[in-house]
């Protein structure tokens, strides 16, 4: 009768799982060509480690051992299917015949496999919702229930997205590979947009009872750091810098009741100096390449905010100038809205309000609650309380996040009190 594994061994295997499981999984996908088979094989390999490492000790290269064991487990699984599917036997034979030497699985090879997995999960042929679900599930290793909880939806909904995504990858033969240098500019945008979408949902939740979902922003930063390690592209650098600089404000963004604290009212002594320093260094690194894009410019804007001891001391002229650069590359209404707020801080509320009003007149961002919230704030500053209250009510009708709704209602109540 075998003895149960020691607590020390359990801790060692758990540590290897935490550090290496996603790398092992990515390599098994390359070797096996199937997401589900690779995941089952990985878990079987870790189960085997609990017994074999107890007798033989932890191997020098646990990652290679796990990949090799997982591969053999998968071949055994396929062979057991031969009684139901004659083709399975041929697949198992092909996998056995493929050249494989676990000693060749060095750091570079594992990194390549992870990069392939990132680009496969974020392939443009998949819907944005599917890319997010697949990336969090397969690259980050979150359970389906955790992904569903993070996005306040049901587990079956996320499971369906993941299943459809895997089916599309299989049926359309989407290659499990990183893009070539020629393809990279077009493909990297899809990856970065997934990471930034995950971060934004964590930094400022689109709906629900909490203003922030820090587990999501942390996961996005972790994914961004991984991508930066694998692919030090200027825009990857810029995105990681942007996320770090935003995240540095986390502790000051809500009060003890979970209510929102606006940037101008935040206690800047609560901002994380270490994250700001790291973000600033990455901004400088990205700018030095002279090949940067929108994420780097946005990070530079955040760096200007981070450098100011107060809202009043912020270099709003520099922020407006950076938004002007951003607008030339990305002439989007949301950029115009953000620039309008900066113009209002530099030139006065009337100037910013004129820009927002022109956006609304064009029909841009009329269903976006922050458009009306920004307009309401400028009207309030100008003393036009009736119009401000109406704009706040428009924002409230569109807002879905509970802390934002409470903030907007407080503003409405304050204006009603002031008009008595």
Q: What is the DSSP string of 192-233?
A: HHHHHHHHHHHHS-SSBS-S--HHHHHHHHHHHHHHHHH---
Question: What tens digit of pLDDT does each residue of 267-321 get?
Answer: 999 999 999 999 999 999 999 999 889 999 999 999 999 999 998 899 999 999 9
- Predicted pLDDT at 93: 53
Report residue 5's pLDDT band, with 50, 70 and 90 as the boundaries. low
Better-predicted residue by pLDDT, 20 or 394: 394
The count of structural domains within the chain is: 2
| Mean pLDDT to the nearest integer, 3-25 | 83
Is there a domain that residue 58 lies in?
Answer: yes
Report the pLDDT averaged over residues 99-122.
73
Pick left, alpha or beta for residue 204 (phi over 0 → left; psi -120 to 50 → alpha; otherwise beta): beta
Query: pLDDT exceeding 90 applies to what percent of the chain?
Result: 55
Query: Between 206 and 46, whose confidence is greater?
Result: 46
Residues 388-404: what's their mean pLDDT?
93
Tokens at residue 351, please? 């100037």
pLDDT for residue 101: 56
Q: Which of 213, 294, 304 is nearest to 263 (CA)?
A: 304
Q: Calculate the alpha carbon distances from 318 to 115, 204, 315, 325, 345 in Å.
A: 36, 25, 6, 11, 12
In a domain, 367, yes or no: yes
* Residue 122 to residue 4: CA distance in whole angstroms: 41
Query: Can you tell me the distance from the alpha carbon of 239 to that of 195, in angstroms, rounded to the nearest whole number?
Result: 9
Report pLDDT for 238: 97
- Tokens read off for 213: 């979902």
Q: What pLDDT score does 3 carry?
A: 42
Note every long-range contact of 137-145, with CB atoms under 8 Å and residues 24 or more positions apart, other chains counting: 137/162, 138/25, 138/35, 139/22, 139/114, 139/223, 139/226, 140/22, 140/219, 140/222, 140/223, 141/21, 141/22, 141/25, 142/219
Query: What is the CA 325 to chain-centroid distance, rounded?
Result: 25
Residue 298: other Cβ atoms inside 10 A: 24
Structural domain contains residue 208 = no
Is 412 inside any structural domain? yes
Q: Which CATH number belongs to the domain containing residue 394 in this structure?
A: 1.25.40.10
State which of 105, 135, 163 marks the end of a domain: 105
Q: 410 in a domain, yes or no?
A: yes
Q: What is the pLDDT of residue 231?
A: 87
Residue 370 within any structural domain of the chain: yes
In a domain, 71, yes or no: yes
Domain stop point among 73, 105, 137: 105
pLDDT band for 1, please (50, 70, 90 cuts).
very low
Token pair 């819907």 is found at 127
Inter-residue contact 36 to 166 (CB < 8 Å): yes
Tens digits of residue pLDDT in 329-343:
989 999 999 999 999
CB 83 within 8 A of CB 73: no
Model confidence pLDDT, tens digit, residues 221-246: 988 998 998 889 999 999 999 999 99
Residue 183, pLDDT score: 79
Which value, in Å, is the radius of gyration of the alpha carbons in the chain? 25
Q: What is the pLDDT of residue 75?
A: 85
Q: CA–CA separation, 201 vs 143, rounded Å?
A: 18
**Angle (deg, nearest 10), helices 349-362 and 333-347:** 160
**Residue where one domain finishes, among candidates 81, 105, 129:** 105
Whole-number pLDDT of residue 351 = 98
**Residue 110 pLDDT class (50, 70, 90 cuts):** low
Any domain includes 229: no
> How large a percentage of the chain has pLDDT more than 70?
89
Note the residue count of the chain: 420
Written as one string, the DSSP assignment of 16-71 is HHHHHHHHHHHHHHHHH--HHHHHHHHHHHHHHHHHHHHHH---SSHHHHHHHHHH
What is d(CA 272, CA 291) in angstroms, rounded to the nearest whole number?
28
The residue to which tokens 């878990």 are assigned: 43
Q: Residue 155 and residue 266: Cα distance in Å, rounded? A: 36
Q: Give pLDDT, residue 94.
A: 52
**Average pLDDT score over the chain:** 87
Give me the pLDDT at residue 241, please. 98
Range of the domain at 365: 332-420
């Amino acid at each position: 009768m075998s003895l149960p594994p020691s607590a020390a061994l359990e801790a060692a295997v758990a540590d290897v799982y935490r550090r290496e499981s996603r790398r092992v999984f990515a390599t098994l996908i390359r070797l096996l060509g199937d997401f589900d088979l690779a995941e089952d094989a990985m878990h079987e390999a870790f189960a085997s480690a609990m017994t074999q490492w107890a007798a033989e000790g932890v191997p020098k290269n646990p990652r290679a051992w796990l990949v090799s064991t997982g591969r053999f487990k998968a071949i055994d699984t396929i062979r057991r299917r031969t009684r139901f599917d004659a083709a399975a036997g041929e697949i198992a034979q092909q996998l056995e015949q493929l050249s494989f030497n676990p000693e060749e699985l060095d750091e570079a090879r594992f990194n390549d496999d992870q990069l392939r997995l990132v680009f496969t999960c974020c392939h443009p042929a998949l819907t944005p919702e599917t890319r997010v679900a697949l990336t969090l599930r397969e690259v980050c290793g979150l359970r389906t229930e955790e992904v569903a909880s993070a996005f306040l939806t049901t587990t079956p909904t996320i499971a369906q997205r993941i299943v459809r995504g895997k089916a599309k990858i299989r049926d359309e033969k989407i290659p499990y590979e990183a893009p070539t240098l020629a393809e990279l500019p077009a493909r990297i945008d899809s990856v970065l947009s997934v990471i930034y979408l995950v971060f934004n949902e964590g930094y400022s939740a689109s709906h629900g009872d909490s203003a922030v979902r820090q587990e999501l922003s942390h996961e996005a930063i972790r994914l961004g750091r991984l991508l930066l390690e694998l692919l030090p592209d200027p825009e990857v650098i810029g995105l990681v810098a942007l996320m770090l600089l935003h995240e540095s404000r986390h502790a000051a963004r809500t009060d003890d009741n979970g209510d929102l604290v606006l940037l101008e009212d935040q206690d800047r002594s609560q901002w994380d100096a270490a994250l700001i320093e790291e973000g600033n260094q990455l901004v400088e690194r990205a700018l030095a390449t002279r090949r940067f894009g929108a994420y780097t410019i946005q990070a530079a804007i955040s760096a200007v905010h981070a450098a100011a001891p107060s809202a009043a001391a912020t270099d709003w002229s520099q922020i407006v100038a950076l938004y002007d650069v951003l607008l030339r590359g990305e002439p989007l209404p949301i950029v115009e809205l953000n620039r309008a707020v900066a113009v209002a801080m530099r030139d006065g509320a009337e100037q910013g309000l004129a820009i927002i009003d022109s956006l609304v007149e064009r029909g841009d961002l009329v269903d976006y609650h922050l458009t009306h919230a920004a307009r309401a704030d400028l009207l309030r500053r100008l003393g036009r309380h009736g119009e401000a209250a109406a704009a706040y009510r428009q924002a409230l009708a569109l807002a879905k996040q509970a802390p934002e709704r409470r903030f907007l209602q407080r503003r409405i109540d304050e204006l009603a009190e002031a008009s008595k």
